[in-house]
Amino acid sequence: MNSRRASPLTVPTSVHGITANCKYSPPPPTTKILKLNTPSFKTKNSRWRSLMVILMGCFGQFSGNGLGYFNLEIYKAAGYNTNEQFVLNLGSSIVSAIAAGTGVALSDRMPRRQALIWGTLASAVFLAINGGLSLKWAHMPDDAKVLSVGQG
């Protein structure tokens, strides 16, 4: 550690009078010193990482639980009864849990930047397809909508 960074570590001992005879010796404030020396948005790399965290949070909300809250309404509009809605919602949760576990297992084995880029692109494409199909469904006349599809 260079002398400029090492000097704040000696402040607690010089200011508070901690000596060799003292039984209590608090740990040096290294965490605060490291936070003060870390640039927030000063570097391009830091801004890029912050943007990726924000985008992952947004896409996570829109593609995961954020859309899952409306599943029951979607199933009801498609004509499923309450029991079928429950089973479909449970199945969706199980598939999401398996996908999350797979993602955690593979997270250290795959190139993160490529996974982020392609995963974000795929999420955006599927969200756009979902929006386009929902718009088409909304503009269809009610008598043309076939609600029994997939109900067996």
Query: For the segment 14-35, what is each residue's pLDDT rounded down to a tens digit?
Result: 555 555 555 555 555 555 555 5
Rounded Cα gap, residues 97 and 117, in angstroms = 22
Rounded Cα gap, residues 11 and 62, in angstroms = 48
Q: Are 71 and 57 in contact (CB under 8 A)?
A: no
pLDDT digits (tens, 9 = 90+) for 94-142: 888 888 788 778 777 888 888 889 989 999 999 999 899 888 888 888 7
Query: What are the structural domain ranges in the chain?
Result: 3-37, 44-142
Tokens in use for 21?
Answer: 């005879």
